[in-house]
């Protein structure tokens, strides 16, 4: 299908176009991934933390999957047919061939190294998921690249750990981790690595990040753990507690 509208070459503008088009049809989509941090965090524009964001990652509702398909095709995005048929209701992939761009749409659940249900979180925030949920999508990555650390760095620099909507909901993260030893362990390791990265950079900005990471770790540690958490902790790291998503390739953009 030929595009009925011009697809912007700028990734953030293109993502905004998709979200606005969906909103006009009564469908809520929200940014996740690097573009979401760029949208929410002023520090993301700092040359020390800046990174290119070519592709678009979005969260939507499973119940809207049929409407999302029509929206994406009306805008002119090319579907990854077999993948979409096999994963309808869970995840959809589309391409902007002119700009060599991929669009990933997760429906209800974000599934990578760990699984999180973000259906209710889609109701919050303007254009992006709330910073707390965005942070979770980065902390859950087991084999991180520099881009994950940059996103985490700007998030902790620009948002304090709090129990209010405007900040990183430390209470929400601590409660989640108190019920799931696997998530707790991955998050803890991620936070330790992030502190080491921040300390390497040094300076007052890094001190802010380290202080806020410490605050979150203290909340995670002090939260009363569930019976299931304690039973899984007995097994510990002898049994793997996370998944490693396989690369699904991008043959259509080669």
Domain boundaries, the chain: 11-253
Question: Could you give the strand order of the β-sheet that contains 101-107, starting from the edge strand earlier in sequence?
Answer: 30-32, 56-60, 101-107, 91-96, 78-79
Residues composing the chain: 254
Regarding predicted confidence, which is higher, 123 or 135? 135
Stated pTM of the model: 0.93
pLDDT given at position 251: 64
35, 12 in Cβ contact below 8 A?
yes
DSSP 76: T
Report, in angstroms and rounded to the nearest whole number, the Rg of the chain calculated over CA atoms: 19
Closest CA to 132 of 206, 40, 9: 40
**What are the residues whose beta carbons fall under 8 Å from the beta carbon of 204, sequence distance 6 or more?**
none
68, 20 in Cβ contact below 8 A?
no
The token pair that represents 205 in the structure block: 């900005």
pLDDT given at position 249: 67
pLDDT given at position 21: 97
pLDDT given at position 166: 78
For the segment 120-126, the average pLDDT, to the nearest whole number, is 86
Q: Mapping DSSP to helix (H, G, I), strand (E, B) and coil, where does residue 243 land?
A: coil
Percent residues over pLDDT 90 in the chain = 82
**What are the residues whose beta carbons fall under 8 Å from the beta carbon of 189, sequence distance 6 or more?**
none
170, 163 in Cβ contact below 8 A?
yes
For the segment 101-121, the average pLDDT, to the nearest whole number, is 96
pLDDT given at position 2: 46
Q: Mapping DSSP to helix (H, G, I), strand (E, B) and coil, where does residue 124 land?
A: coil
206, 149 in Cβ contact below 8 A?
no
DSSP 121: G
């Amino acid at each position: 299908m030929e595009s009925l509208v011009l697809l912007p070459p700028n990734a953030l503008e293109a993502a905004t176009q998709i979200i606005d088009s969906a909103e006009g049809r009564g469908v809520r989509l929200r940014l996740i991934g690097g573009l979401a941090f760029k949208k929410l965090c002023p520090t993301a524009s700092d040359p020390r933390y800046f990174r290119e964001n070519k592709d678009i990652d979005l969260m939507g509702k499973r119940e809207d999957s049929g409407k999302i398909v029509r929206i994406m095709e009306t805008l002119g995005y090319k579907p990854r047919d077999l993948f979409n048929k096999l994963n309808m209701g869970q995840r959809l992939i589309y391409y902007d061939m002119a700009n060599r761009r991929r669009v990933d749409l997760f429906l209800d659940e974000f599934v990578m190294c760990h699984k999180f249900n973000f259906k209710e979180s889609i109701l919050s925030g303007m254009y992006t998921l709330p910073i707390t949920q965005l942070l979770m999508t980065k902390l859950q990555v087991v084999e991180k690249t520099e881009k994950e650390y940059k996103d985490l760095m700007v998030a902790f620099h620009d948002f304090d750990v709090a129990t209010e909507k405007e900040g990183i909901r430390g209470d929400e993260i601590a409660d989640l981790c108190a019920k799931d030893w696997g998530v707790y362990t991955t998050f803890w390791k991620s936070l330790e690595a992030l502190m080491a990265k921040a300390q390497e950079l040094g300076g007052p900005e890094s001190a802010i990040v380290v202080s806020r990471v410490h605050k979150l770790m203290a909340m995670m540690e002090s939260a009363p753990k569930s019976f299931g958490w304690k039973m899984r902790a007995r097994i510990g790291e002898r049994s793997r507690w996370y998944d490693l998503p396989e690369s699904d390739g991008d043959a259509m953009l080669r």
